């Protein structure tokens, strides 16, 4: 009895015009949504810039699904699973008309970005769906606050999924030979995420989410409600200063990492590192007052950093 072996369908290869449109769509997404990352992209050679725009657009789609409050959490999980399934099929060579997937799979093959890393990016965006329960609002209509992470090590695991993995993907595009770059990229991603947590601590508390570990809250005598209301600024300042010092230790990895990525990528990484580190220092200069308004670098401040990055590229 013979067995008929059916040949695998041919791998879909998009045309140059399809890829040009796909990368253009991803560039538009990155330009409008990547408030800090896009400045770093601009200093990179065009192929690397396009690849990172595709990666960002993929992440943005994952984030948008996970954050869509018009859907229940279960609906968001299902929609994210469908998006990941579409990515897996496109990565395996199936035809796709989604511009993000067209660009991403092209970038993936050019820079040997493992499917597993991109899966982790998607899983990271969904972690909040699992970590913060969907609770009924309190009597005054505000969300019930949930402090999910008891220790820094638990928070670090979360940061790895949502930020360190981004660093591991980026250095595949940047290019590197020394495996030490991987651990440094993980630490730098952690520094970025800690900076985001400090900047957004009130906004997150208003949404019912506390990312600062319970261990640290107890150490400084800060309650979740104080983070939401911004009361007792002296205590809050000492807490956030402690978290900032922790971030600064991880930022040290950035200076080492710059030396390990390909030379044509070093200015882009420098711009990204400088923007985020400058944001942290701007928060510090405001005595960690992130409660009376969101702290961010101005466009002028970012453009100054970008100009210095261009000078490094031309040097």
Q: Report domain extents, the chain.
A: 14-131, 137-315
pLDDT of residue 131: 60
pLDDT of residue 62: 94
HEC-encoded secondary structure of 85-97 = HHHHHHHCCCCCC
Take residue 3 and report the two structure tokens written for it: 């067995």
pLDDT of residue 136: 46
pTM for this prediction: 0.90
- pLDDT, tens digit, 9 for 90 and up, residues 37-52: 999 999 999 999 999 9
- Of 37, 112, 30, nearest to 279 by C-alpha is 37
The mean per-residue pLDDT over the stretch 13-23 comes to 92
Spatial separation of the C-alpha atoms in residues 28 and 23, rounded to whole Å: 9
- pLDDT, tens digit, 9 for 90 and up, residues 76-124: 999 999 999 999 999 999 999 999 999 999 999 999 999 999 999 888 8
- pLDDT, tens digit, 9 for 90 and up, residues 202-225: 999 988 889 999 999 999 999 988
Please tell me which of 9-13, 65-69, 123-127, 289-293 the model is most confident about, judged by mean pLDDT. 289-293
pLDDT of residue 1: 46
Q: Is the pLDDT of residue 146 over 80?
A: no
Give yes or no for a contact between 34 and 275, defined as CB atoms under 8 angstroms apart: no
pLDDT of residue 313: 79
Spatial separation of the C-alpha atoms in residues 150 and 211, rounded to whole Å: 9
Query: pLDDT averaged over the chain?
Result: 91
Domain 137-315 -> CATH class: mainly alpha
Phi then psi for residue 209, to 5 deg, are: -120, 130
User: Distance of CA 31 to CAs 37, 46, 87, 162, 239, Å?
Assistant: 9, 14, 22, 21, 34
Take residue 310 and report the two structure tokens written for it: 């261009």
- Of 132, 193, 170, 194, nearest to 260 by C-alpha is 170
Phi then psi for residue 147, to 5 deg, are: -100, 105
Take residue 136 and report the two structure tokens written for it: 């009924």
- pLDDT, tens digit, 9 for 90 and up, residues 236-262: 999 999 999 999 999 999 999 999 999
The mean per-residue pLDDT over the stretch 168-193 comes to 97
CA 93 to chain centre: 27
């Amino acid at each position: 009895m013979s067995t008929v072996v059916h040949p695998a369908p041919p791998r879909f290869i998009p045309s140059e015009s399809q890829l040009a449109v796909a990368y253009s769509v991803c560039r538009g997404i990155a330009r409008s949504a990547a408030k800090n990352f896009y400045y770093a992209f601009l200093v990179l050679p065009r192929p690397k810039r396009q690849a990172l725009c595709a990666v960002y657009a993929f992440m943005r789609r994952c984030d948008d699904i996970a954050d869509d409050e018009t859907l229940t959490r279960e609906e968001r999980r299902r929609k994210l699973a469908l998006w990941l399934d579409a990515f897996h099929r496109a990565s395996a060579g199936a035809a796709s008309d989604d511009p993000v997937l067209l660009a991403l799979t092209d970038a993936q093959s050019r820079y040997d970005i493992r499917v597993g890393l991109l899966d982790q990016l998607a899983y990271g965006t969904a972690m909040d769906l699992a970590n913060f329960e969907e609770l009924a609002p309190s009597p005054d209509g505000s969300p019930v606050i949930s402090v999910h992470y008891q220790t820094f090590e638990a928070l670090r695991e979360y940061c790895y999924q949502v930020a360190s993995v981004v660093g591991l993907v980026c250095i595949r595009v940047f290019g590197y030979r020394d495996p030490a770059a991987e651990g440094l990229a993980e630490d730098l991603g952690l520094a970025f995420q800690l900076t985001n947590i400090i900047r957004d601590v009130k906004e997150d508390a208003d949404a019912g989410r506390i990312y600062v570990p319970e261990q640290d809250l107890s150490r400084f005598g800060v309650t979740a409600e104080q983070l939401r209301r911004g009361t007792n600024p002296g205590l809050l300042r000492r807490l956030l200063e402690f978290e900032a010092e922790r971030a600064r230790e991880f930022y040290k990895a950035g200076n080492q990492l710059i030396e390990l990525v390909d030379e044509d990528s070093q200015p882009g990484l420098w711009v990204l590192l400088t923007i985020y580190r400058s944001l942290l220092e701007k928060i510090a200069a405001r005595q960690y007052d992130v409660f009376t308004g969101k702290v961010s670098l101005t466009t002028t401040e970012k453009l100054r950093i970008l100009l210095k990055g261009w000078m490094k590229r031309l040097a």
